[in-house]
């Protein structure tokens, strides 16, 4: 199969969040994040900043998260993506870190498998 030079502006990747629950355990919850497809130079800068701890998970997650599937409210209704909803999601402890981990894994995952 030939490589297509022009890629879509976004792509969907699974993200797993571990939410603390009673008894010292975690509830693993997943959703599909829609990530922006950033230029390689920006990805390199994000990875370097994350490793050097010169940026926060919240800053990176806010930059790369462009949408989602599988986010619901407490009544089980889908929560549509919006900037307000994104801010609410990223304010949940552990979510920003999980988004960043998912994003970086999406960039580096193929390299790790080889």
User: Does residue 11 contact residue 35 with C-beta atoms inside 8 Å?
Assistant: yes
- Predicted pLDDT of residue 113: 47
Q: For residue range 2-54, what is the model confidence (pLDDT) as tens digits?
A: 988 888 999 999 999 999 999 999 999 999 999 999 999 999 999 899 889 99
Is residue 20 packed enough to be buried (19+ CB in 10 Å), middle (13-18) or exposed (0-12)? exposed
Domain membership of residue 67 (yes or no) is yes
Strand 65-69 versus strand 25-36 pairing type: antiparallel
Give the range of the structural domain holding residue 26, as residue numbers without chain letter.
10-113
Domain membership of residue 1 (yes or no) is no
Domain membership of residue 4 (yes or no) is no
Q: For residue range 65-74, what is the model confidence (pLDDT) as tens digits?
A: 999 999 999 9
For residue 4, what are its two tokens?
């297509």
β-bridge mates for residue 15, sequence order: 31
Confidence of residue 79 (pLDDT cuts 50, 70, 90): very high
Domain membership of residue 21 (yes or no) is yes
Domain membership of residue 54 (yes or no) is yes
């Amino acid at each position: 199969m030939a490589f297509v030079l022009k890629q879509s502006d976004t792509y969907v990747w699974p993200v797993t969040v571990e939410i603390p629950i009673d008894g010292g355990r975690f509830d693993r919850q997943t959703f599909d994040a829609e990530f922006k497809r950033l230029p390689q130079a920006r990805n390199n800068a994000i990875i370097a900043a994350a490793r050097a701890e010169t940026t926060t998970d919240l800053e990176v997650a806010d930059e790369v998260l462009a949408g989602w599937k599988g986010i619901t409210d407490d009544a089980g209704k889908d929560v549509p993506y919006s900037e307000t909803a994104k801010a609410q999601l990223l304010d949940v402890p552990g979510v920003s870190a999980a988004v960043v981990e998912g994003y970086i894994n999406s960039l580096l995952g193929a390299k790790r498998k080889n």
